[in-house]
């Protein structure tokens, strides 16, 4: 039998076509987990300055499920939403935002407290939460006041900080540094703290903010896409 030779370029094209078909396959039906998750969500940055209201719908649209949002407003606040047209579930209960070809534009991983979180290089951290707030109750300011330490590694403090209940601006409280501090902490020059979504948010005199989330080990870890970690412990 004579072998049939297929040009390499044609073979690659056929493989690519198959991969594209798999990537953009239309869902056969709406799974129960999608119906349970569907509803209004709020998308915000870590500081809460940029916001977008999303409506996750249990209706097949393209390669995912229908997604409603005010595009001009949301894209103005978060440019990465410009090509987003639908949503889907991802591994480990993640929520994915997809473009018209089925490509994943953003993926939010579920955190311990039921929020969804994503870090984008050069843009910061973003949170996706159910609108109306069904989040578990977090700590109170009274429970967090006292002396803490900043650390690059748990158990190795680089600076002491006292969180007080003395009012500062808005819903914030004053904080004070003590002892010899790491140059990074000195340069940041924190002056106040507050609670937001069960996280501790520390603000500098220039208005810059650093957010800390509580881990399962009851250690507070900086929420950031920065490569150098920072913890808040006591």
**Separation between Cα atoms, residue 90 and residue 102, nearest integer Å:** 12
Stretch (H or E) spanning 186: helix 183-188
- Closest to 121 measured CA to CA, from 38, 195, 224: 224
Instruction: Say how many Å lie between the first and final Cα of the chain, rounded.
Output: 77
pTM of the model: 0.53
Nearest residue to 54 (alpha-carbon basis) of 72, 67, 73? 67
Does the structure show a pLDDT above 80 at 157? yes
Specify the pLDDT at position 24.
47
pLDDT, tens digit, for every residue of 159-216?
999 999 998 987 889 999 987 888 889 999 999 998 876 789 999 998 888 889 888 7
- Taken in order of first residue, the domains within the chain and their CATH numbers are 28-130 (2.40.128.10), 141-233 (2.40.128.10)
Total Cβ atoms within 10 A of residue 43: 24
The pLDDT confidence band at residue 4, using thresholds 50, 70 and 90, is: very low
Overall size of the chain counted in residues: 234
């Amino acid at each position: 039998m004579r072998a049939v030779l297929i040009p390499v370029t044609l073979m690659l094209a056929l493989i690519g076509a198959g991969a594209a078909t798999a990537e953009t396959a239309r869902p056969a039906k709406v799974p129960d987990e999608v119906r349970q998750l569907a509803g209004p969500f709020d998308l915000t940055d870590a500081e809460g300055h940029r916001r977008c209201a999303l409506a996750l719908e249990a209706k097949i649209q393209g390669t995912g499920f229908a997604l409603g949002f005010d595009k001009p407003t949301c894209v103005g606040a978060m440019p990465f939403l410009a090509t987003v047209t639908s949503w889907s579930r991802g591994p480990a209960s993640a929520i994915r935002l997809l473009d018209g070809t089925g490509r994943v534009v953003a993926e939010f991983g579920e955190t311990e407290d039921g929020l969804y979180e994503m870090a984008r290089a050069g843009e910061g951290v973003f949170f996706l939460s159910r609108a109306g707030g069904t989040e578990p109750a977090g700590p109170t300011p009274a429970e967090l006041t006292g002396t803490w330490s900043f650390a690059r590694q748990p158990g190795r403090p680089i600076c002491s900080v006292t969180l007080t209940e003395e009012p500062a601006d808005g819903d914030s409280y004053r904080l004070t540094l003590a002892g010899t501090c790491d140059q990074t902490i000195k340069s940041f020059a924190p002056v106040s703290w507050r609670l937001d979504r069960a996280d501790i948010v520390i603000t500098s005199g220039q208005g810059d903010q650093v957010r800390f989330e509580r881990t399962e080990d009851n250690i507070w870890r900086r929420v950031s896409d920065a490569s150098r970690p920072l913890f808040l412990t006591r």
